[in-house]
Amino acid sequence: MHWRDGDPSVQPLRDVSDNLAARGYSPHFFFDANAGYILADRYLHDQDFERMLNLRRGSVTVVPKGTIADSAILSTARKLNAVVVTNDRYRDWAEQFPEVTQQGFLLKGEYGVKGLRLDETFVQPAYA
């Protein structure tokens, strides 16, 4: 949500969701418990984010207060053999999750003059 100009916005989330859906993926978003306060000045539940992003039920996880979302993201990605779309390199997690160092596990995204760009090596869905 900080990908465009560093300011929090729901638009980068929508853009990523649309881009991944167009490639045949069913994206799942993870948020820290404070994300709603950043975007909407109040706590937002999973379903609030799903409505905001126009996603199907079960597509968002807001981790409980005091829980580190990184662990939930990496654990779920490992379990599902999924790709993680992020600008985080997760270096602090490399010992517990060595897959963060493997090419293709983390997909970098960014905004440029032409809008959202996801790493071009990411082409085929990892699972259906």
Domain coordinates in residue numbering, the chain? 11-118
pLDDT of residue 126: 42
pLDDT of residue 128: 33
As a whole number of angstroms, the distance between CA 83 and CA 106 comes to 6
- Give the tens place of pLDDT for each residue, 15-35: 999 988 988 888 999 999 999
pLDDT of residue 118: 86
pLDDT of residue 122: 52
pLDDT of residue 104: 87
Residues 6+ apart with CB under 8 A from 102: none
pLDDT of residue 127: 40
Strands (DSSP E) found in 2-83: 29-31, 60-62
pLDDT of residue 116: 87
Residues of the chain with pLDDT under 70: 120-128
Asked: is 11-118 a CATH 2.70.98.10 domain? The reply is no
Residue 16: what residue type?
A: V
Residue 90 CB neighbours (<10 A): 18
